[in-house]
Each structure stands twice: as structure tokens, then as C-alpha cells.
Amino acid sequence: MLDDEMLCDEVKNLCGILQGKTLDVGCGSGDIERCLLERGIIKGELVGIDLWDFSLRYVEQNLLRYGITIKCLKMSAERLDFPDAIFDNYLSIRMFHEIDNPVKALKESYRVLKPSGTCLIIDWKKGADTGVPERYYSLSELTSLIKSATAFKVVSAEIKDDYLFIKCKKL
């Protein structure tokens, strides 16, 4: 499996430097966010959301140890409390499998992205040995879901190791 550093490298390979305002959906421990910020892959404001209070507290404390401050909010991917077209980038790393209503979450990601905004979904592929029984997708299942739920243009879709990497653009 790819570790956090390798995932950060993949984000940079796929998207380059993320300028402007970035939404990270499911910020978890904050380790990937720290890596992206320390390496200069994210330039500009980073907003993290998660459903779990303990995750949000942990992210803020974890990042503060490194002198990094980000805005962390309790929120669902299916119900983003943001105005339309406010973000330049939308990241979903290792969490799409946890979403109860993926169509609704995809529609919300499209809504909050600015025109020409980038959506990057990185998640475990169907059949990956994660030890957690969640809802994983094949590459074709997830790209079909994205195309049927939104007007995103899928720019790239690939499998590396146990992960799906799907980059989309809002038209």
C-alpha cells in the first residue's frame, strides 16, 4: 500500500501545485494535509471537513505541533455548508468508501467547485485488503458514478497499487 508521502507525490503528479482555496473532505488524522502543505503542494487556503469531532480535534492538535493551522469544520460530504463555486480544488483521499450517499456527495462537490476547478478522488479499489469492510468501487464503477451524477469531465482515471486515482474538472 502507498504511504502518506507517496500519496502526496501522486497528488502532485496528477494535479501539480494546488492554488487558491482547497476543500479536503474527510481530513482524518491530518497527516496527508501536513504532507501536502509542507511540500508546498497546496498553496493558499485549506479547509478540512470531517464528521467526527475527535478527528477534527486531532487534526488541529496534530498540525499545530508542526506550526500549521487550517480551518477544520464538522460537516458531511453529502451536505456541504458552503456557497456555490467557492473552492478551486476538492480533495477526497481515502474516504469516498465511507460516504452513505455518493451521488449526493458528488453533486455537492460539483456545486462548491468554481468553473475549471479540480476534483481529485483517491480511494482504495474494490478488493483491496484494508481490513475494513466498507463500500469500495472498481475504477469503472466509480468513473461511471461520477459521470452519471455530475457534469465533471474525468481527466484521468487509473489504478496504482491498491488505490483508484480519479481526477476531474468542472466544465
- The C-alpha atoms of residue 62 and residue 31 are separated, in whole angstroms, by 8
| C-alpha cell at position 73 | 469544520
User: What tens digit of pLDDT does each residue of 106-145 get?
Assistant: 999 999 999 999 999 999 999 888 877 778 999 999 999 9
Element (H, E) at 107: helix 102-112
Query: Is the Cα torsion angle 169, 105, 55, 97 positive or negative in sign?
Result: negative
Element (H, E) at 14: helix 4-15
Q: Does domain 4-169 have CATH number 3.40.50.150?
A: yes
Res. 1: pLDDT tops 70: no
pTM of the model: 0.94
